[in-house]
Amino acid sequence: METVSENRSHGGTQGVYRHQSTATGTEMTFSVFVPDHAEGQVLPVLTYLSGLTCTHANVTEKGEYRAACAKHGIVFVAPDTSPRGEDVPDDEAYDFGKGAAFYVDATQEPWSAHYRMRSYVEHELPALIQSRFPVDMARQGITGHSMGGHGALTISLRNPGRYRSTSAFAPIASPLNCPWGEKALSGYIGADRAEWRQYDACALIEDGARLPDLLVDQGTGDNFLEDQLKTHLLQQAVDAAGMTAQIRMQPGYDHSYYFISTFMADHVAWHANRLKR
């Protein structure tokens, strides 16, 4: 693992790191914030998955999580959204290819060789974090924004008991029912929509997956709300399942990091309450 940079911030260390991934077959970059702590102490960890067109840098530079994580003693991990490199296939559109891997393990050529972000986030990255940082992987939380909110929800739903806490900012709630999801899943997974259900939070809940509770914030001024995010379908799914969830519609907020940073401290505190029990 190569250290790209480390900086003191908010009573902790913000680092950016690079390693060769076996899951994607490429170099992968991620950031980690570690609050100051006693020697030998291990801390809860919160993983944040970013959205379309983003890298690890967007939340690292604009997420405003460090003060809250330092206050609550939470390690914050932010991976990239896709494999990168000259040999990695791409698409001219912003919503497919590099920066838009959708946290799936692709099965279709030419994407299947490198686009394995599900395996990377579910298995490889947590093992690397555990081996190199002072974390207690029995106390994990996961969150994310937009495409990353979709990733956080589906990864947690597919792995019951692994994450003590799950939240999301403006998640793509039902990729089976929106243009972003239909494009990504048909391209990466193929035409069989039954195979898509493992990558759709609403479908997973309908099929029996459950979370102990859930926090979602969604801005009412988000221009993607009606066509792409489909928050109402997530509300319908959790209501039908009798699942505990706070889905908060925040008046006037859009899809940007102005929105995310406004509610980030709330989410960190919400996770801390569950991770430190």
Annotated catalytic residues are 146, 222, 255
Please return the burial class of 60, using the count of CB atoms within 10 Å of its CB with bins 0-12, 13-18 and 19+: buried
Per DSSP bridges, beta strands 215-219 and 246-250 are parallel
Q: Which residues contact 262 (CB under 8 A, 6 or more apart)?
A: 250, 253
Which residue matches tokens 């505190």?
269
Whether 201 and 153 have beta carbons less than 8 Å apart is answered as yes
Whether 10 and 105 have beta carbons less than 8 Å apart is answered as no
Whether 211 and 157 have beta carbons less than 8 Å apart is answered as yes
- Tokens representing 44 are 């809860």
Nearest 5 degrees, angle CA 88-CA 93-CA 99? Answer: 50
Dihedral (CA of 145, 151, 155, 157) sign: positive
